[in-house]
Structures are given as C-alpha cells and as structure tokens.
A and B are shown apart, each in its own frame.
Chain A
Amino acid sequence: MSAPTPPRASIPRSGARQFAVSVVRQPYIWAVVALLLLIVINLIKDPGYLGISVNATTGNLSGNVIDILRASAPIMMIAIGMTLVIATRGIDLSVGSVMAVSGAVSMEFMNSSGDGSVGGAILAAAFAIGISAVLGAVNGVLVSIVGLQPFITTLITMLAGRGLAKVITSGQNTSASNEPFRWIANGTVFGFPVVFVIGAVIVAIVAVLIRRTALGLMIESIGINPKAARMAGIRPIGILISVYIVSGILAGIAGIFSTASVMTVEVAKTGLSAEMDAILAVVIGGTSLAGGKFSLTGSVIGALLIATLDKTIVFLAIPSSATPAFKALVIVVICLLQSRRVRALFNQRRAPRTPSAPTAPAPTAPRTTRKETVSA
C-alpha cells in the first residue's frame, strides 16, 4: 500500500468547448440534426412555418410549433417509460393498449357520472392512471418474479389490454364532455400547450427520480450485467417491477392526453401501434435495445422528431400511400448514422492516424494469466 500516488487524470479544458464536444458526441446528435433539417424543409415550403400567432376567435396561441409540441406529448410519455424498460433489457409492447384502457376508463367514468367539474376530471384521470399502474405491475411481476420473457409478457398484456378496453366501453367509441379534462389536451398555459407542459414536468420528475437517486445506476447495472448487479447486492425484482409500473403509468397519462384531445376513446384506434413510435423514439434517442446505458434526453428528442415527422408529412402533402415509406426512410437514415460502425467509419476518415482507444481484452481471450501487465 506504499505505492506512489499516481497522477490524477484530469485534463483541464475550457468549459464551453467541453460542453460543445460532449453534445456532439451524444448518440442522439443525428436526431437533432434531422429535427432541424425537417424544420428547414418546412420553412422552405412556407417561410412562416415557425410563426406563432394569437387566434382571434379562441384567444389561444396557434402555430405549427405548438401543434408539434402538443402531438409529441403522448409519444414522449410512452418513450420515457419504454426507455427505462429497455434499459433493463426488457421491452414493453403493451403501452398502446394501456393507452386505450386508460382512455376507456376515463371516458366511461366521466360519461356515466356526467360530472363536468374539475373534480370529475381529476377523479377520472386518477382512476385511469391507477388501472394503468396495475397493468404495469402485472407486467413487472410476470417478468421479474415469474421470469417470463418481457416480449411475450407484454405481448399478452397488449392483446388483453385492448380486449379490456373493449369490455369497459362495451366495444363502443365512448365520448364524454368535461371541459377541464378537454383543457388538458387542448388548452394552453403561458402560451404553451398544457399537454406539453404537463409532459415536460413529468419528464423532469422522472429524470430527477432516476438521476438524482441511485435508480438510474441500478437500472443500468441490471441492463448491462444482471449477474454482476445481483452479486453487487442490487435487488432486481423491485427495480424491474417499478420500471414496468412507471411505464404503465406513463402510458396511462399518454392515453389521457390522446383521448382528451377529442374527448372520445376509440377502443380500436387509441394508442394503436403506439409501442412502435415509443420504441423508435428510444432507438433514435440513442438507447441500445440491448439494454444498459440509456438517455432520457435522447428519447425526448426522439419523440419530438417523430411528431415533427408526422406533421411534416401532412404539411408537405405527401400522398398517404407514400407516407410509410417516407417515414421509414428518415428513420433508417438516422439509425444508420448512429450505428457504431458508421460512426467509426466517420471517425476514421476524420482522423486516420489517431491511435485506437484502449479497449477491453478480446472477449475470447482467457480470463486468467498471471503474467498480465497492470497497465491500460
């Protein structure tokens, strides 16, 4: 223990420059680029694209940006939940169905109570979120305690959830009228759409909960190396159940957002293939589907990108038969640019003579040799 103190490795850099470098190194940088590019394309079509005006009749702010923020809110919710689940090496296919259940519960509740007050809206939302949490807990228990595969488990809840939504509304599209509830999706506060504000606040809460406590570290540990995480004393069961519950709750909130917008739950349509949007947002945001390290910021950007993409397709009047292909093309390009190999290729071309970074010993190398030298 008498070894000389090695020099601490910290290279001083100018703060701003370091920040810029760290932003450019983020895996979601291409999503940001794509987002800006889409906006530029829209601006070319209509220079007033980013303009925001006060609507004379309704008194609300209106503009394409507002619409995008509003449309991104539900995707953001499910993408955040999906990020956490994927980080634990799981996947949650049931988010779309949970959205439908949540919408069905709140609409049915307000429809049958006929209560148009703020209290009625809060009660309906609480009820809907509660049931979503239960569905999430079912996923969590099946995955962590019973040990079913996340894919299968959530596929089951995905099918069962949509069925449940149909049972709740007896297969009907149910509408309700409750002005405070409608305001959630259509109102604005300080010019911003309420949905987006609520969404941003919820993202902030989740981010604080994950990153200011040790939950993030534990989730990543489980995702990277479940065995080692267990040996280090992390209890995976509790973490897994919580993660699926959070995903359920966030999907429930997304369900409220999307049904409140039209005050109708369409049991066969609400949240349909929303899980795909969520997974895409996560992947675009740079979180690996293999689990481990995750980026909530990335997923938020992914959600914004998907919403912008959807809106751009309509704004540019791309024929409906061509929209899936267009959407796929944009996403494939982003994913390609993000892939490790393509990035490596870029780096090589940029700095062909940079010595390669220290890497782990080849996985096939024997773990044990006594002659190994202690140096990096």
Chain B
Amino acid sequence: MSKTASFRAFAGIALVGAMALGITACSGGSSAESTGAAGSDGELTTIGFVAVGPEGGWRTANEQNIQDSFSKENGFDLKYAPATNGDQNSQITAFTSFIDEGVDAILLSATEATGWESVLERAQEAEIPVVLLDRGIEPNDTSLYTSHIAPDNVGISASAAEWANAQFPDGANYVVLEGPPGLSVVNDRNKGWDETIDANMKKLESQSANWSTEEAKSVFETILKANNNDVQLVFAQNDEMGLGAALAVEEAGLKPGTDVKIITIDGTKAALTALSEGRLSFVAEYNPLFGDTAIDVVKSALAGETVESDIVVPSVTFDSPEAATEALPTRQF
C-alpha cells in the first residue's frame, strides 16, 4: 500500500511539474509560489469519511471538526459522504466506492452498529486502514478495524449518575429519556447510569423520545401528570431531550433546576446556555472534537505503526451555571 502511495506522489509531482512548465511557458514570468502550492497538492493523502450527516448539534460539530482537521493545509484530501436520512445502505455504498477508488484511509461513523463485517473485510483485503469515529460496531471484532476513537459513553453516564447520587443522598424519583431503543449509544449510556446510580434512587419510567426536543417535551409532560409532578430528576441521554424536558417542566408551572433537576449528555452550546440560565442542572460533555487524535491515528496507521484499537476521548462535565458561563465563549459546538 505504501508503494501505491509513493507511486501516486511521484505521478503527482511529475504531473504538477509538467503543468508548471506549461504555465511558465505560457505566461513567462509567473511567480514561484504558485508552483509551490500546487506541489503540495500532489502529496495529499486521500481520506474517505463515511459520515452520519446532519442529525443534531453534536453531530454537526463532530463532523465539522473532522473536516476541518483533515484539511488540505494538513496534507489531506477528505471526501465527505454523509448518509442519506440515516440509512445504513447508503453508508455501505459510500464505503465500498471509497474502497474501489483506492483511498488511503477510511473514517467511519456508522449509523447502525451491525452488518459491517463484509465491507470491513474488503477494506482489509485492499489494505485500507479503517478508523471508527464515535460509534462502534457490533460484534466488536477489533481485528476488522485499525482503531475506534470515541468518548466513553459508559464512563460519561456513570459520572452523571455519581453527581446525581451526591445531589440526592436521601434518594429521589427519576425518569430516563432515552434515544431510540437498540442503539449502542443508548445501551452504553443506560449501562453506565444503571451500574452507578444508588439503590435509593427510584426509576419511575424509562421512555424513548427519539433524541427529539419535541417528543421529549410531549413525553415528559405526560410523565409529570402520571406521577403528580413527583419527579425530582431527569436523566436525558442527549441535550435536545433535556431541553424538551425543561420546557415541559416550565409548562407544568414548576421550576427546572429547583423542582426538577435535569441531567443531559453531549454539552452543546444550547445546553450550556440553558445550564448557565439554571434550566439544566448537569451537563456531561461527550466531546466531539477529536479530529487531531484521528489525524495522529491515521498517520501512524499509514506509516505502518501499531495503533491502540480503542482510544477514549477525554470529556469534561459541567455541574454549575458558573462553569457553563465560563466555558460558553470558547465553545465550538
């Protein structure tokens, strides 16, 4: 594979050289810089990015960060292929065409965890390293990919549960707002929470609100009525649902933050703003900005070095309006 790469680089230089000659021949005294810039163009590493596409604030930030990191300035030519309407088939199609094009490496954020074995094997045969971003695959066969870079969902929700335990030492009634059932993210976030949360905390209900603010609002208004407003804590598995729950709380004439405390995961600007206003109580970041880590991994993989198969992206938590206010001005997503 490195052979192909060097051959390409050579061909590129030759081509650019020829073009440069042509340009000089035509325009006479053209500047030397243009030739230099074109020269770097020829050495670009092509990366195929099989992405999820617009889904929400977190995803947009993540994919923008990846695209910004793998820039031409950094020596990459990134081909961005978002899924059409979250359809796995369109992702598999994009993935195989990247293999056929012979890209140097593939980044994959899978919409669904299962069903990737055969295409990953094809990439392996073509000696193209595959780096999984954010979402993992199932069954998690580490031999099929180079590395999986993601924040640790289990750890993050565990830290949220720890905060909840500290807030309600005498126990409380709580509700979980989940993503669509069956997703690995949802399973992991449930796992971290359920393992850590104290036994005196009573789970009233766990409902899916499909990551959506609107659905979360509608679901939570009914949960409040079903329990005569006797809910002290909401664990929303993403920011959007947490914001929906906050709206429902306000609609019911209660005060989010005092009457009902809301925990969310992701840490988007919208959530931090709400936290700074006291409408949310705890925001655990699920750090989307790991483009630089991804670059390092791709570079080492292409250089033939061994890469760790599971890389955890460090994430922080925000537990007070002050912390949120402080973080907001520099928040990128």
Contacts and interface: CB of A to CB of B under 8 A. Distances in A.
A57 interface: yes
Q: Which of B204, B213, B215, B240 has the most chain A CB within a 10 Å cutoff?
A: B213
Chain B CB within 10 Å — which of A55, A259, A266, A270 has the most?
Answer: A266
A173 B240 contact: yes
Given A58-B251, A317-B226, A320-B207, A261 B54 contact: no
A262 B252 contact: no
Interface of B: 53-57, 60, 84-86, 178, 181-182, 204-208, 210-215, 217-219, 221-223, 225-226, 240, 243-244, 247, 251-254, 270
Nearest to A175: B270
A111 to B, nearest CB: 13
A162 B82 CA distance: 14
Contacts of B226: 45-46, 314-317
Contacts of B208: 320, 323
Contacts of B252: 55, 62
B81 to A, nearest CB: 15
Contacts of B55: 268
B217 A261 contact: yes
B225 A262 contact: no
A200 interface: no
Contact of B225 (A64, A173, A272, A320): A64
A319 interface: yes
A266 B212 contact: yes
Given A55-B252, A55-B253, A162-B85, A269 B211 contact: yes
Interface string A264-281: 101111101000000000
Contacts, number: 105
A16 interface: no
Given A262-B213, A269-B211, A319-B206, A171 B54 contact: yes
B54 A67 contact: no
Contacts of B212: 266, 269-270, 272
Contacts of B204: 317
A362 interface: no
Nearest to A258: B214
A88 B181 CA distance: 37
Contact of A321 (B56, B181, B217): B181
A262 B178 CA distance: 18
Given A175-B270, A268-B55, A320-B178, A314 B223 contact: yes
Nearest to A49: B225
A159 B214 contact: no
Nearest to A324: B181
A297 interface: no
Nearest to A64: B225
A64 B227 CA distance: 12
A83 B157 CA distance: 45
Contacts of A317: 204-205, 207, 223, 226
Given A159-B84, A269-B210, A166 B181 contact: no
A269 B210 CA distance: 8
Which has the most chain A C-beta neighbours within 10 Å: B208, B213, B214?
B214
B194 to A, nearest CB: 14
Nearest to A45: B226
Contact of A67 (B53, B210, B221, B240): B221
A63 B224 CA distance: 11
A18 to B, nearest CB: 40
A262 B54 contact: no
A57 B253 contact: yes
B204 to A, nearest CB: 7
A46 B228 CA distance: 10
Given A264-B213, A266-B213, A172 B223 contact: no
Contacts of A323: 207-208
A368 B207 CA distance: 63
A264 B226 CA distance: 26
A173 B217 contact: no
A349 B3 CA distance: 81
A56 interface: yes
A172 B57 contact: yes
